[in-house]
Chain A
Amino acid sequence: MDASIKKIIARYPDEKSAIMPVMQHLQRENKNFLNEDAMEEAARVIGCSKSKVYGVATYYTMFNTQPVGKFHLQVDTCVPGFLHGADAIVAHLEKKLGIKSGETTKDGMFTLNRVQDLGSCATGPVIQVNDRYFENMTIAKTDALIEALKSGKEPENDPSMTVISKCGILLNDRTQKDCRTIAFYKKNGGYQSLKKALTMKPADIIEEVKEAGVRGRGGAGFPAGMKWSFLPKNDSRPVYLICNADEGEPGTFKDRQIMEFNPHLVIEGIAISAYAINSKKAFIYIRGEFNWIADILDAAIEEAKKDGQLANVDIVVHRGGGSYVCGDETAQIESLEGKRGNPRVKPPFPANSGLYGCPTVVNNVETLSSIPFIIQNGAAGYKKFGNTNNFGPKIFGVSGHVNKPGIFEYPMGTPLKEILEASGGVKGKLKGVIVGGLSVAILTAQEAENLILDFDSCVKAGTALGSGGIMVVNDTVSIPELALRTIEFYHHESCGQCVPCREGSLVIEHKLHDLVHGKGKMEDIDLILHLTANIKGLTLCPTGEAFAVPIQAMVSKFRPEFEALVKR
């Protein structure tokens, strides 16, 4: 066996977990193409059936089981991309390259694809070229990019956007060149919390985190300390900590801000948390598209190890393969075990039987990154930010129709108005706002008027804070088209396990497609509402609800727009 494959396998307690990294390696070695031989090789070294490997390879979008061009251009046309004008970029590329999306140029140089959410919402339109992102694209920049690629030059990326940190806890000063280094981090007090934590009793750390009331920042808002305390006591099995860095909810691009520019913060958070729950092995499950960020994390972990910070825990960065559903904790566990990312039936819950059947905690990057502050400043310090039951700093991402889209670290409970002002105000006339990532109900301009951004206030307003990915929609946007984009995303991402989600999203997509293209009927509108009402709560994992809720809200709140599309 090739030494690099051996090394990959050695990182995991169970070799099956190495299936994706091994395939990623083989694909990279083979001109970005995972052919039959490579899949057979993977089955051989991992020791599993060919159908298992094929099933995994075709589940995740980043494995190319068909050959692709030298440069694989993928344009994000999901909702934020759509709002930022990504369709025009695709149309331009199709014309310029003389191919349709999904095709490869005759000379084998370029393959063009529309893809779902790349997690670069404020910097859209974004084009992913092989492993790299090119953000804030315009037609002119696209031309320059293609020319550069053709002539073998290294193209430049422009990731600029507005970054404001009012709390100064999670985001650091990224304008500093050395902002990622351990030296910079330590100069600003880094790893002091870990030092302090190691003098505390694990139970006391859990108490402090519970007392701080930090609610999960992945979207569900479940109290982190409580999650930790569900772990069985006096259990002889190893405990695993998984840092969920799979942010894939359209509109969300917050965790990458921490990982890319302040990687030691999340590493320190993991080290403290692992100590608190007695975990000796932690994983960072990062979405595969963020490959360069995963490299940054790898390097930072090396630095921290050398500096003696990680004596108590081994952290493995695990790259996903392109799947939204793997953001769900049980799907993520399955994926980390080297399987298709199908969510598990609960119970059992991960706290009792998670990764490899062992007690497991899955926490979001932003959640874990707030732990060092809590240890250093106590629950009381943390509670200075936010309101009752909704404490702490929160990173909001604003994309869509604002003048200065970007990333904003504000206290929980900040009015939406203030965040919109910070992002330069709405471009044009506001029509609606989606405040918590694509899976929450859209609010009309009027409903959003006095919205307070915290978990409980959002629920009261008939929506959810979710991940805090705010998408602003002005009156140039057709809501039926927005709804179609929305369902396209979820239908594409559905794991396909359960019927209401797999087939329901398909039927809704067809009906919305018909409506948008003038072929719809009045009954279709009611059918969509009937389906969304029944799908809610009927699926195996929250994904069914994740599309039933927003589609239902768009159709019922903007029904006249849908009706106007029906030809009488």
Chain B
Amino acid sequence: MSKTIVINGKECAFDGNKTVLQIARDNGFYIPSLCYHPKLGPASKCRVCVVEVDGIRNLQTSCSLTATDGMIITTDSPRVLDAQRMVVNLLLANGNHNCMICERNGDCELQEAAYHLGIELPAFIVEEREDKDESGAFIVRDVNKCIQCGRCIEACNRLVVNEVLDFGFRGGHTQVVCDGNKPMGESTCVQCGECVQVCPVGALIEKKAIGKARSWEITKIRTTCPYCGVGCQQELHLKGDQIVRVKGVEGAKPNDGHLCVKGRYGYDFIYSKERLTTPLIKKNGKFEEATWDEALDLVADKFKQIIKESGPDAIACVSCARSTNEDSFYMQKLFRAAIGTNNIDHCART
């Protein structure tokens, strides 16, 4: 049975178990949120997604509030906005939130919240600075921009289960640490980048993207990762025809935003000068460029010759792990039906 809640006077119907934040978003209401990530669930820590609920004295965090039929919600009262402004101001008060030169400028959830709440300049500043951790091969950590939302920790421990990150220290000193507070590059981190994927601000950024493009110069293209048969969905961030960074596609099968280190950071090979662009045929001990027809004819001739001389079982095929399931299927079909052998294998098995 469909239920209804009222948000700022508008009736919003919903089914099943949903939080007020989800319903608000479904209905086009913007409620700032920082620690909540759909993949990780509510954390109720940043306290910025608070709303007023008729009949409840204190403001409630909409990310963790399960909607019940008839609930009356206000997201834009002075009381709500005051609290939200204070929270965002407090986050801006401490740390180096200098948006002008931040990689996440234009694509930062904190900046977006500040913009919507009309915070031009932080109301109070108490700053402490620490050096960035640039020791990781692909990831730069800027603790000065970290808002301790904990998303990266949840992602590292619960989603990819690499168990590298956790919070260390306490209170105002709370910080994300790798292993026993090692620089990321010396820790057991495998640089999968899942933490970067979920970070709402510029505290975890892709090293290779630094200085390459502003967020508004980016075109996003969805594609399938070429590395293996899983077929992870990627979103390429391009400036012109150059890849600036690769993100996983949230909510898409099969990877729901996850990528491995190769899929996320190993994209430079496409620009390699050594990349083969035509088939090569070895003549007189040296490779020479050839056309596809020449190459395929040569292979077909050799196969035929071998079959004639030694039978089809003198030939075997090994399918590459970078091929898709469909490609591997065709490969075995070709070898069974056309060549006539069962000598079929896959490199990931050998």
Contact = CB atoms under 8 A, between A and B. Distances in A.
Interface in A313-363: 323, 340, 345
Interface of A: 36, 39-40, 48-55, 58-60, 323, 340, 345, 491-500, 502-507, 510-511, 527, 530-531, 534-535, 537-540
Contacts of A54: 166, 168, 177, 179-181
B46 A498 contact: yes
Given A40-B180, A50-B180, 9 more contacts: A36-B180, A54-B180, A58-B170, A340-B170, A494-B171, A502-B148, A538-B58, A538-B59, A538-B87
Nearest to B123: A527
Nearest to B42: A345
Contacts of A503: 90-91, 93-94, 172
20 contacts: A49-B179, A51-B165, A52-B166, A53-B180, A55-B166, A58-B170, A59-B167, A345-B43, A345-B64, A497-B174, A498-B47, A499-B91, A505-B172, A527-B123, A527-B124, A531-B86, A538-B47, A538-B87, A539-B47, A540-B45
A511 B57 CA distance: 29
B313 to A, nearest CB: 50
Contacts of B179: 49-51, 54
A115 B123 CA distance: 31
Nearest to A49: B163
Contacts of B195: none
Contacts, number: 134
Interface string B66-82: 00000000000000001
B1 interface: no
B47 A499 contact: yes
A496 B42 contact: no
A507 B169 contact: no
A539 B57 CA distance: 13
Nearest to A530: B86
Contacts of B59: 537-538
**3 pairs of A and B residues whose beta carbons are closest in the complex:** A496-B174, A51-B166, A49-B163
A535 to B, nearest CB: 8
A506 to B, nearest CB: 5
A323 B90 CA distance: 24
B178 interface: yes
Contacts of B321: none
Given A503-B91, A504-B90, A59 B148 contact: no
B150 to A, nearest CB: 8
Nearest to A497: B45
B168 A51 contact: yes
B121 interface: no
A19 B126 CA distance: 35
Nearest to A544: B47
Contact of A502 (B126, B171, B178): B171
Interface of B: 42-48, 50, 57-59, 64, 82-83, 86-87, 90-91, 93-94, 123-124, 126, 147-148, 150, 157, 163-174, 177-181, 188
A500 B90 contact: yes
> For the complex, would chain B's binding face be called helix, strand, loop or mixed by DSSP majority?
loop
Nearest to B58: A537
A340 to B, nearest CB: 7
Contact of A499 (B87, B167, B173): B87
A499 B171 contact: no
Contacts of A498: 44-47
A534 B171 contact: no
A529 B171 CA distance: 21
Contacts of A496: 148, 167, 169-174
Contacts of A535: 86
A59 to B, nearest CB: 5
A499 B45 contact: yes
B170 A51 contact: no
A60 B169 CA distance: 8
Contacts of A506: 93-94, 126, 172
Contacts of A539: 47
Contacts of B166: 49, 51-52, 54-55
A52 B163 contact: yes
A83 to B, nearest CB: 24
Nearest to B128: A506
A502 B172 contact: yes
Given A499-B90, A537-B58, A538-B58, A51 B171 contact: no
A58 B168 CA distance: 6
A456 B319 CA distance: 78
Nearest to A537: B58
- Greatest chain B CB density within 10 A among A55, A59, A535 is at A55
Nearest to B181: A54
Nearest to B63: A345
Contact of B86 (A52, A53, A534): A534
Contacts of B165: 51
Contacts of B177: 51, 54-55, 58
B172 A51 contact: no
Contacts of B50: 538
A534 B163 contact: no
Contacts of A51: 163-166, 168, 177-180
A491 B180 contact: no
B42 A494 contact: no
A536 to B, nearest CB: 9
Contacts of B93: 503, 506-507
A198 B221 CA distance: 72
B180 A39 contact: yes
B47 A507 contact: no
B83 A534 contact: yes
Nearest to B162: A49
A494 B170 contact: yes
Contacts of A55: 166-168, 177
Given A49-B164, A51-B179, A534 B82 contact: yes
Contact of B44 (A495, A537, A540): A540
A496 B82 CA distance: 21
Nearest to A60: B170
B90 A538 contact: no
B167 A340 contact: yes
Contacts of A497: 45, 148, 150, 174
Given A345-B44, A507-B126, A495 B171 contact: yes
A103 B179 CA distance: 27
A540 B168 contact: no
A374 to B, nearest CB: 33
B167 A537 contact: no
Contacts of A323: 170
A53 B308 CA distance: 67
A390 B187 CA distance: 56
A340 B163 CA distance: 16
